[in-house]
Amino acid sequence: MHITFKKLVLVSATLSSIALQGCTTPHRNETVVNHITNNVVRMEVNWGEYPDKAWSPASYNVMAKYHHWDENSIQYRWIWPQATMRRDLYAQVNEIAIVADGVPFLSHGDLVDVFVPPFETYNYGQLKAPVVIRLVCKADDSDCKAKSKKELGGWNEVVSKGSPDLSRVTFTKTFDKNGKRLAVPH
């Protein structure tokens, strides 16, 4: 039998999809988890907010199911940021993060600082999750992004070690239980 690259890719893709069908628990690399846990990480917004409705993970999302995404969760602001780290550790991290009050509307490509609590404490229904604590740069601000990269030693890295003071961080319900934006009081 002659094995071509095309056949090899097809077999590999088939085996991967079969292996993932029963996946019900999120998997984490222990080295990466130890590197980001209880630290603030500079991340890039992968999936940003919608102007008229709540962001919500897909119903089949393993992380959302495992960490109790529910009708309470959808009433708050959430994004999906990622960090492609290269300075201290070669890794990529994707999180579902709640956006703190006071952080402006976030779009794809914005740079944000995210506090990452211990993975085993996540509970989206109780708002226990990574927290976007600050907008660093808008996506189209290349000067800001270049300055951030120079100061940090990379695009997305650990900004500070240890938990910041979160005692004044608040979250306000922005959407109803169906994900529709609530009227803003005048």
The Cβ of residue 179 has, within 10 Å, a number of other Cβ atoms equal to 16
- Looking at residue 94, its pLDDT comes to 87
> CA–CA distance from 109 to each of 46, 100, 157, 165 (Å)?
6, 18, 15, 26
Taking the CA atoms of the chain, what radius of gyration do you get in angstroms? 18
CB 55 within 8 A of CB 116: no
- Looking at residue 11, its pLDDT comes to 41
- Looking at residue 70, its pLDDT comes to 82
In the DSSP assignment, the letter for residue 44 is: E
- Looking at residue 7, its pLDDT comes to 47
- Looking at residue 4, its pLDDT comes to 58
Encoding tokens for residue 174?
């922005």
**Which residue ranges make up each domain of the chain?**
30-161
- Looking at residue 120, its pLDDT comes to 87
- Looking at residue 13, its pLDDT comes to 41
- Looking at residue 21, its pLDDT comes to 40
In the DSSP assignment, the letter for residue 75 is: G
The whole-number mean pLDDT for each consecutive block of 10 residues of the chain, a chain of 186 residues, reads 50 39 56 87 93 77 73 90 85 90 96 94 90 97 95 86 93 92 73
Cα gap 117→100, rounded to integer Å: 15
- Looking at residue 171, its pLDDT comes to 96
- Looking at residue 59, its pLDDT comes to 61
